[in-house]
Amino acid sequence: MGTLTDWTAHEALERMGRGEVTSRELTQAALERIASVDSEVKAFLTVTPEEALAQADTIDARRKRGEPVGLLAGIPLALKDNLCTTGVKTTAGSQILHNFVPPYDATVVRKLREAGAVLIGKTNLDEFAMGSSTENSGFFTSRNPWDLTRVPGGSSGGSAAAVAAREVPLALGSDTGGSIRQPASLCGVIGLKPTYGRVSRYGLIAYASSLDQIGPFSRDVTDCALLLNAISGHDPLDSTSVDLPVPDFTAACIPDVKGLRLGVPKEYFGAGVTAEVAEAVWGAIDYLMELGATVEECSLPTTEYGLAAYYILAPAECSSNLARFDGVKYGLRTKELAGHIGLTEKTRDEGFGAEVKQRIMIGTYALSAGYYDAYYKRAQQVRTLIRLDFERAFETFDALLTPTSPVPAFKIGEKSDPLEMKLADVCTLPVNMAGLPGISIPCGFANGLPVGLQLIGKAFDEATLFRIASAYEQATDWHQRCPALSV
Partner 1 sequence: MPEYEPVVGMECHAELLTESKMFCGCRNTFGGEPNTRCCPVCLGLPGSLPVMNKTAVEHVMRTALALNCRINPHAKFDRKNYFYPDLPKGYQISEYDVPIGVQGWLDIEVNGETKRIHIRRVHLEEDTGKLFHMAGEEESHVDYNRSGVPLMEIVTDFPPDIHSPDESRAYLMKLRAILTTIGVCDGKMEEGSLRCEPNVSIRIKGTEEFNTKTEIKNLNSFRAVQRGIEYEVERQSALLERGEKIIQETRGWSEAKQQTFSQRAKEVEQEYRYFPEPDLVPLHITEEWIEAVRATLPELPDVRARRFREEYGLPAYDAAFLTDTRALADYFEEAAQQSGDAKAVSNWIMGDLARLLNAGAKEIGDSPISAKDLAAMVKLIVEGTISGKIAKTLIEEMYTTGSEPAVIVEEKGWKTIKDSGAVQAIVDKVFADNPEIVVAIKEKGQTQKRGFLVGQVMKAAQGKADPQEVNRLIDAKLNE
Provide the 3-class DSSP secondary structure of residue 144. strand
The reply to whether 201 sits near partner 1 by the rule CB under 8 A is yes
Q: Which of these is catalytic: 23, 137, 155, 241? A: 155
89 is a catalytic site residue: no
- Phi/psi zone of residue 452: left (φ > 0), alpha (ψ -120 to 50 degrees), beta? beta
The reply to whether 239 sits near partner 1 by the rule CB under 8 A is yes
Q: Which of these is catalytic: 142, 174, 179, 440? A: 179
The reply to whether 356 sits near partner 1 by the rule CB under 8 A is no
The reply to whether 11 sits near partner 1 by the rule CB under 8 A is no
Q: What are phi and psi of 159, to 5 degrees?
A: -65, -45
- Using CA atoms, how far apart are residues 402 and 285, in angstroms rounded to an integer? 9
- Using CA atoms, how far apart are residues 160 and 479, in angstroms rounded to an integer? 13
Applying CB under 8 A, among 90, 134, 229, 432 the residue interacting with partner 1 is 90
The reply to whether 344 sits near partner 1 by the rule CB under 8 A is yes
Question: Per-residue string for binding with partner 1, 303-332, x by CB under 8 A?
Answer: -------------xx-xx-xxxxx-xxx--
Stretch that binds partner 1, among 76-84, 163-171, 285-293, 391-399 (CB under 8 A): 76-84
CA-nearest of 135, 14, 196, 132 to 407 is 132
DSSP run (H or E) holding 132: none
| Nearer Cβ to partner 1 (104/445) | 104
80 is a catalytic site residue: yes
- Using CA atoms, how far apart are residues 343 and 366, in angstroms rounded to an integer? 25
CA-nearest of 103, 140, 221, 126 to 173 is 126
- Using CA atoms, how far apart are residues 305 and 406, in angstroms rounded to an integer? 17
The reply to whether 350 sits near partner 1 by the rule CB under 8 A is no
The reply to whether 202 sits near partner 1 by the rule CB under 8 A is yes
| Nearer Cβ to partner 1 (18/329) | 329
Applying CB under 8 A, among 84, 281, 318, 451 the residue interacting with partner 1 is 84
Which residues lie below 8 Å from residue 152, measured CB to CB, with a gap of 6+?
41, 43, 133, 134, 142, 143, 144, 145, 158, 160, 161, 164, 183, 186, 187, 409
CA-nearest of 191, 254, 249 to 467 is 254
| Nearer Cβ to partner 1 (294/380) | 380
| Nearer Cβ to partner 1 (19/339) | 339
| Nearer Cβ to partner 1 (148/343) | 343
Provide the 3-class DSSP secondary structure of residue 77. strand
Strand order in the sheet with 213-218: 44-47, 118-123, 76-80, 170-175, 213-218, 190-193, 438-446, 449-457, 399-403, 261-265, 294-298
Q: Which of these is catalytic: 23, 42, 80, 174? A: 80
Which residues lie below 8 Å from residue 336, measured CB to CB, with a gap of 6+?
342, 346
| Nearer Cβ to partner 1 (56/112) | 112
411 is a catalytic site residue: no
The reply to whether 484 sits near partner 1 by the rule CB under 8 A is no
Question: Per-residue string for binding with partner 1, 259-288, x by CB under 8 A?
Answer: ------------------------------
Burial of 369 (0-12, 13-18, 19+ CB in 10 A): exposed
| Nearer Cβ to partner 1 (202/249) | 202
Applying CB under 8 A, among 29, 75, 88, 92 the residue interacting with partner 1 is 92
Active site residues: 80, 155, 179
Interface ranges with partner 1 (CB under 8 A) = 82-84, 90, 92, 97, 100, 102-104, 106, 201-206, 208-210, 236-240, 316-317, 319-320, 322-326, 328-330, 340-341, 344, 364, 367-369, 372, 376
